[in-house]
A and B are shown apart, each in its own frame.
Chain A
């Protein structure tokens, strides 16, 4: 048991973390290269970079979209706060990061970490229930949509229990193994799944904008490829 735990938070953690960082960097670099290449081809290069940045930032403020489907939007927003903050700013994690990459940063006060974690657990369960409850949401869902939210909730529950061993009904080691293995798995899959939106989201407005910048002559080139050059409309 101890060996497994050591494996999970030693080599496996380092592997998952390294793959997550490398995979994410690859995605970001590919997106930037893709954008620059698209820009080179686009006929209209007058891009309102600042305006798009403002649009993107505006979208991260929740008040704008809780107006519609308020409960769902709010739940989803609350879910994401803990999800982003706790893995990075929980004091116990910072010690772990310090051991792995050698740098530290200020931690969230313990009670705040706790509350954020619980908020993510509760809202995560709410999101799963919503997906199950609504027949249309069920129909939209793919395997990964069913997989990640419960996985995240599990990792957060076990994380909370690990931080509060006195209130845990199961042993610390078991809890830690599930927590660390789950987290490893999530990190490992992040670059290859929809979780990548955590880092690619800010590019969306730019991608849309570029999508509508067509390539001069591209349509005629397609016609030539398809042997339809000069054919009537």
Chain B
């Protein structure tokens, strides 16, 4: 409540348009940032395929500005700086100026001094105002993917220490900490939680439903956003109940049970290290495939990169909703159609839906047992980002920006559905949507898809 008042007070004095995206960074070397930025940029160009992409974008960006209609941030602020192709141009300018012969020549003729601290600061904010939702890609007549430029911009910035502290702290714990996961949950605590959930499940269903841990040779090595172990017990229990019903073999790995991968948001080498740990755990378990929980970015970073970092013989990757849709189709699980009486809507996480990867499955699942299902407008591939995409949901310091700017379109959409429940599969979306519901005082609750499955599943 205090937060709400604070927001009202501030929004009366600061216009939404002027809300900044100022995130905390860790103390770092702030000398010679332009030189260090260019060094990192040069090295990244040398070892990756980004140069090819930047060349193509530089040549083809027609500055038609059509992407503006797709950007939820620009739609709210109307700031020129929030137009996707303008934002991408910040980095493309640096590329052209410092890494192409024509740019170097031009700079010499015009006396352009090149990259400076001001431009770095501008990029530092711009690339985190963008939630990397890639909605603009659908509306760019040239078909350019500005989300990729945001990713690269953040990657280079992270190499000079400009990266949100919250993301680094979580990643540090995951890669170098004692617990090996972003939430810092010790293995023993995770095992205790599972035991507790098994008791809960028995109480609720009367069945002895197991959370298998470290079972070798299972069909699925299961990874969720680790925060689910703390915050989303119903989702986990729904998934366990489902596997109980189908009898398929799945397992959680005790050495690594975190599917979160912030590398997707800001760094290729973090991405690679996290994915490699995931591959190692799945191989240790001798699993036949990798199964990711509902979470959007965890799914995309596994699906998109396990092949890349497997060094041969990659394990197949799927998302739990694909599995659930399949077993319902095969008639292997029964759901009570009278259980869910509320009006339900579904939020498409960008990392699942934007590419068209997982759009139909959740709808098929929900419609199979939910009577009153409504869609948001637009939905599916063209959905609006929750406003916390690209890792920004973890940054509490930009709460007001997320609520008033990045999440405003989503709030309007949610309100228009009149739904009682919004199903959001992604852990990040869930947090953001929960906060939006509070901020805009919507009469609605956020649930995972398997929370509803848990309510409706009929176990013989």
Contact = CB atoms under 8 A, between A and B. Distances in A.
Contacts of A217: 47, 272
B66 A72 contact: yes
Interface in A120-172: 134-137, 139-142, 145
Contact of A41 (B49, B69, B83): B49
A196 B148 CA distance: 22
B44 interface: yes
Contact of A226 (B43, B148, B271): B43
A233 B175 contact: yes
Residues of A contacting B: mostly: helix
Contact of A43 (B56, B171, B269, B309): B309
Contact of B49 (A42, A56, A141): A42
Contacts of A204: 56, 60, 142-144
A4 interface: no
A27 B142 CA distance: 16
B48 A210 contact: no
B176 to A, nearest CB: 6
Interface in B207-263: none
B53 A207 contact: yes
B308 A44 contact: yes
Given A34-B52, A140-B63, A56 B176 contact: no
A222 B44 contact: yes
A17 interface: no
A90 to B, nearest CB: 25
Chain B interface helix/strand/loop/mixed? helix
Interface string B51-66: 0110111011111111
Contact of B145 (A197, A211, A221): A211
B23 interface: no
B50 interface: yes
B143 A201 contact: yes
Contacts of B86: 139-140
Contact of B66 (A69, A203, A228): A69
Interface string A34-71: 11011001111010000000011001000001001100
A140 B59 contact: no
Given A38-B49, A207-B53, A232-B176, A220 B308 contact: no
B99 interface: no
Contacts of B62: 145, 194, 197
B56 A223 contact: no
A84 interface: no
A216 interface: yes
Contacts of A34: 52, 55-56
Contacts of A112: none
A59 B141 contact: yes
A135 to B, nearest CB: 8
A25 B86 CA distance: 29
Contacts of A194: 59-63
Range class of the A interface residue count: 35 or more
Given A44-B307, A226-B39, A65 B268 contact: no
A233 B175 CA distance: 8
B114 interface: no
Interface residues on B, range: 35 or more
Interface string A79-114: 000000000000000000000000000000000000
Looking at A27, A31, A218, A233, which has the most chain B CB atoms within 10 Å of its CB? A233
A24 to B, nearest CB: 11
A214 B57 CA distance: 18
B200 interface: no
A136 B68 contact: yes
B444 interface: no
Contacts of B44: 218, 222
B83 A136 contact: yes
B366 interface: no
A203 B60 CA distance: 10
B66 A73 contact: yes
A219 B52 contact: no
Contacts of A145: 62-63
Contacts of A2: none
A140 B308 contact: no
A232 B270 CA distance: 11
Interface in B73-93: 78, 80, 83, 85-86
B52 A37 contact: yes
Contacts of A65: 66, 139, 141
A185 interface: no
Contacts of B40: 222, 226
A213 B308 contact: yes
Contacts of A226: 39-40, 43, 159
| 8 A-B pairs closest in CB distance | A219-B269, A43-B308, A204-B143, A225-B43, A38-B49, A208-B145, A211-B53, A218-B47
Interface of B: 39-40, 43-44, 46-50, 52-53, 55-57, 59-66, 68-70, 78, 80, 83, 85-86, 137, 139, 141-145, 148, 159, 168, 171-172, 175-176, 267-273, 304-305, 307-309, 311
30 contacts: A44-B304, A44-B305, A56-B143, A59-B143, A73-B66, A76-B141, A136-B80, A139-B80, A194-B60, A196-B60, A201-B60, A204-B143, A205-B143, A207-B52, A208-B53, A208-B145, A210-B49, A211-B145, A213-B308, A216-B272, A216-B308, A218-B272, A219-B269, A220-B269, A221-B47, A222-B159, A225-B43, A225-B46, A226-B159, A233-B171
Interface of A: 27, 30-31, 34-35, 37-38, 41-44, 46, 55-56, 59, 65, 68-69, 72-73, 76, 134-137, 139-142, 145, 194, 196-197, 200-201, 203-205, 207-208, 210-223, 225-226, 228, 232-233
Given A197-B59, A226-B43, 11 more contacts: A30-B55, A136-B80, A208-B144, A208-B148, A212-B145, A214-B48, A216-B309, A218-B272, A219-B47, A222-B269, A233-B176
